[in-house]
């Protein structure tokens, strides 16, 4: 018998074991009556302990089992330890095998699971195993050995993992081996093929394969069939890496699922976004030129409603500025705004002063742009890997399928003027006519209205019920929106140009170009305080001979300067008028300048400290020196008293000026 297990037990430890009484008194009485081997218990409490071998067989077996022991033919051995579920099998590996098994193998395993589950249900209900085998075999039309073998497979497995355990593993292994078995290929041939096929020119697979065969002949490379090579490529080079090597980073980025953002926490007119759209329509412009106009649109991000738009021959600052003015005039000033980093949108007149403006050189004396001056927080849309990111701005969807192109460009009024979405989609009547600009503007306004009023929009806010107009109205009436002042509206109305103030307090504008070197000059006396400095002149492009409004670079109003028009060389009336204005200007400033000097120069000179003689210094001792010439002492001649000539001259000049100015007013 092994001596490593516990041999002695107290009466308290035996309570509840098989063939044992329920109290210590009764156990002690039983031990005394049956003559169990005992000894006095050591430690506090006293009492007796009883030896294992003197206990009843059932009690002894239970105590051995508690210690992981078992008695066989009088010998005590270690009992086998039951394996845990984690030690028996890996459930994750089983279900991975299930996923690779295929539909047919899975259906066979499900059929086995049905009768195996039925068998164990009968056994758990108390049915004898042999009877259960015979009954289930008859019910499901099986041979008893087959049923017994399948039931044996799931022993020790959790019921939830029976299905993958019942798979026919030999067929699955053969199938997987066939899929993983690849025909041999020379390492040089394989590397050459990947280099040729996985490049941005995107050659056809078959073309690269035939080129590989031709090259392999020269180098005695081993090359498999085209299907085997394709399987090897798909196995060793994942799809996303093939896209990266053949289509570039931008295509790889588009494989990643788009981020879905909610707009429910944004109020109407809190955040807007804008973008330009090139119309696919030939339009006869105001000057007779036939072109495809470009419209700048502003849309509300929450509701997708088109708020305002302006049409031009290109995407430029004026269309962006004036369309923003339309938004501000009708709905108010938004809090936030999203733009593309284009030349028109990112120029200094719109976004100057924004720290993260990436286009154009940022200079310290750049004027502040309109958007930051209006207190709007600017956001640039994403540019990933050198290309625009269409998912970044909701307004992009207005230009897609079912968008403004359907409502405007394909309008029946533009028959013959529609160009098609691209060069491959030109209609048969391409270029047969051009629509008048007045007709185009009318249809554009109608198309935008229809776009906004279309019901049952499938967006987060509209929920398939409301139109963009209805969604905007529902949110706008509960929103807090800033309204623009007259000064802010004037800034939006006028164009701007940075100019330097000349020494004559004039500024020169090049707006609209200079015809025959003629430029417009503007003057105001307030500009004298800014001579040599840069300022911002805002003007109406349609009235360059009117006034311009001058601001500092930080946006503070200076003045309204008037235009100085050039005159004829021999126009004497204009010369006299100019002389009169110059004389008035000179006289007024002369009097104003004298008013600052109420003390004359001579009076100031009188108050200046004169040169005072230094006080004489007395030495500690003196010594008389007698100068002799021969034997006779020289007689010292009497010196006349020196006169103060400078003081006398100043007094004379003062008297002369006093006499001269005595009779003046």
Residues 63-101 pLDDT 10s: 888 887 877 777 777 766 655 444 557 788 888 888 878
Give Cα separations from 435 to 12, 251, 277, 315, 396 (angstroms). Answer: 108, 38, 18, 20, 26
Q: Pick the most confident of 81-90, 152-161, 270-279, 363-372.
A: 270-279
Which pLDDT band holds residue 261 (cuts at 50, 70, 90)? confident
Lowest-confidence segment of 15-19, 185-189, 500-504 by average pLDDT? 15-19
For the chain, domains (ranges, CATH) are: 8-78 (1.10.10.10), 99-179 (1.10.10.60), 182-255 (1.10.10.60), 271-476 (3.30.420.10), 494-568 (2.30.30.130)
Encoded tokens for 443: 């249809």
**Cβ distance 281 to 419 under 8 Å?**
yes
Residue scoring higher pLDDT (96 or 569):
96
> In which band, very low, low, confident or very high, does the pLDDT at 355 lie, cut at 50, 70 and 90?
low
Higher-pLDDT residue of 652 and 516 is 652
With a cut of 80, say whether residue 577 has pLDDT above it. no
The first and second tokens of residue 590, run together, are: 């002369």
Which of 81-95, 210-224, 431-445 is the least confident region? Answer: 81-95
Closest by CA position to 232, among listed 199, 207, 205: 205
The Cβ of residue 329 has, within 10 Å, a number of other Cβ atoms equal to 14
The model's confidence at residue 646, banded by pLDDT at 50, 70 and 90, is low
Contact 190, 135 (CB under 8 A): no
Task: Say which range, 36-50, 134-148, 173-187, 353-367, has the weakest mean pLDDT.
Answer: 353-367
Q: Which pLDDT value is given to residue 346?
A: 60
The model's pTM is 0.54
pLDDT at 650 over 90: no
Cβ atoms 394, 273 nearer than 8 A:
yes
What does pLDDT average to over the chain?
80
């Amino acid at each position: 018998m092994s001596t490593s297990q516990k041999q002695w037990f107290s009466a308290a430890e035996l309570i509840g074991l098989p063939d044992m009484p329920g109290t210590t008194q009764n156990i002690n009485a039983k031990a005394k009556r049956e003559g169990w081997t005992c000894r006095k218990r050591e430690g506090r409490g006293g009492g007796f302990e009883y030896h294992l071998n003197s206990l009843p067989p059932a009690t002894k077996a239970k105590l051995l089992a508690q210690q992981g022991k078992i008695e066989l033919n009088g010998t005590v051995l270690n009992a086998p330890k039951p394996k845990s579920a984690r030690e028996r099998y890996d459930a994750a590996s089983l279900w991975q095998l299930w996923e690779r098994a295929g539909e047919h193998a899975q259906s066979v395993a499900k059929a086995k699971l049905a009768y195996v589950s039925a068998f164990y249900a009968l056994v758990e209900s108390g049915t004898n195993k042999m009877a259960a085998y015979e009954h289930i075999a008859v019910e499901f039309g099986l041979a008893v050995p087959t049923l017994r073998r399948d039931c044996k497979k799931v022993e020790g497995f959790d019921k939830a993992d029976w299905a993958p355990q019942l798979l026919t593993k030999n067929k699955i292994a053969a199938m997987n081996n066939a899929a993983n078995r690849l025909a041999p290929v020379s390492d040089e041939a394989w590397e050459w093929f990947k280099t040729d096929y996985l490049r941005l020119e995107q050659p056809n697979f078959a073309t690269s394969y035939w080129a590989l065969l031709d090259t392999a002949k020269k180098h005695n490379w081993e090359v498999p069939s085209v299907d085997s090579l394709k399987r090897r490529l798909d196995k060793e080079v994942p799809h996303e890496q093939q896209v990266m090597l053949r289509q570039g980073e931008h295509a790889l980025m588009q494989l990643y699922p788009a981020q879905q953002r909610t707009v429910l926490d944004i109020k109407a007119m809190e955040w807007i976004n804008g973008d330009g759209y090139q119309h696919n329509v030939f339009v006869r412009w105001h000057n007779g030129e036939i072109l495809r106009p470009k419209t700048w649109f502003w849309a509300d991000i929450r509701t997708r409603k088109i708020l305002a738009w302006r049409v031009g021959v290109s995407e430029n600052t004026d269309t962006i500025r004036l369309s923003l003015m339309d938004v501000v005039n009708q709905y108010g000033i938004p809090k936030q705004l999203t733009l593309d980093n284009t030349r028109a949108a990112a120029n200094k007149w719109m976004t100057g002063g924004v720290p993260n403006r990436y286009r154009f050189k940022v200079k310290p004396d750049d004027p502040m742009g309109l958007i930051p001056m209006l207190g709007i927080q600017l956001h640039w849309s994403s540019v990933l890997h050198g290309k625009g990111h269409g998912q970044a701005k909701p307004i992009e969807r207005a230009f897609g399928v079912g968008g403004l192109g359907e409502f405007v460009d394909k309008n029946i009024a533009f028959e013959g003027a529609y160009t098609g979405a691209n060069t491959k989609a030109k209609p048969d009547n391409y270029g047969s006519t051009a629509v008048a600009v007045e007709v185009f503007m009318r249809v554009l306004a109608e198309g935008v209205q229809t776009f906004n009023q279309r019901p049952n929009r499938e967006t987060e806010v509209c929920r398939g019920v409301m139109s963009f107009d209805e969604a905007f109205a529902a949110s706008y009436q509960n929103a807090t929106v800033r309204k623009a002042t007259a000064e802010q509206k004037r800034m939006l109305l006028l164009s701007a140009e940075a100019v330097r103030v000349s020494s004559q307090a004039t500024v020169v504008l090049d707006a609209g170009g200079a015809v025959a070197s003629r430029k417009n000059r503007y003057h105001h006396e307030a500009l004298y305080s800014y001579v040599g400095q840069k300022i911002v002149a805002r003007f109406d492009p349609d009235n360059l001979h009117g006034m311009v409004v001058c601001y500092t670079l930080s946006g503070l109003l200076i003045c309204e300067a008037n235009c100085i028009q050039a005159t004829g060389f021999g126009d004497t009336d204009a010369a006299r008028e100019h002389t009169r204005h110059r004389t008035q200007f000179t006289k007024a400033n002369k009097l104003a300048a004298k008013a600052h000097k109420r003390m004359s120069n001579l009076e100031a000179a009188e108050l200046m400290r004169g040169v005072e003689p230094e006080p004489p210094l007395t030495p500690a001792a003196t010594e008389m020196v007698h100068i002799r010439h021969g034997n006779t002492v020289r007689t010292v001649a009497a010196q006349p008293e020196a006169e103060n000539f400078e003081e006398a001259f100043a007094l004379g000049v003062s008297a002369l000026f006093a006499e001269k100015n005595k009779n003046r007013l």
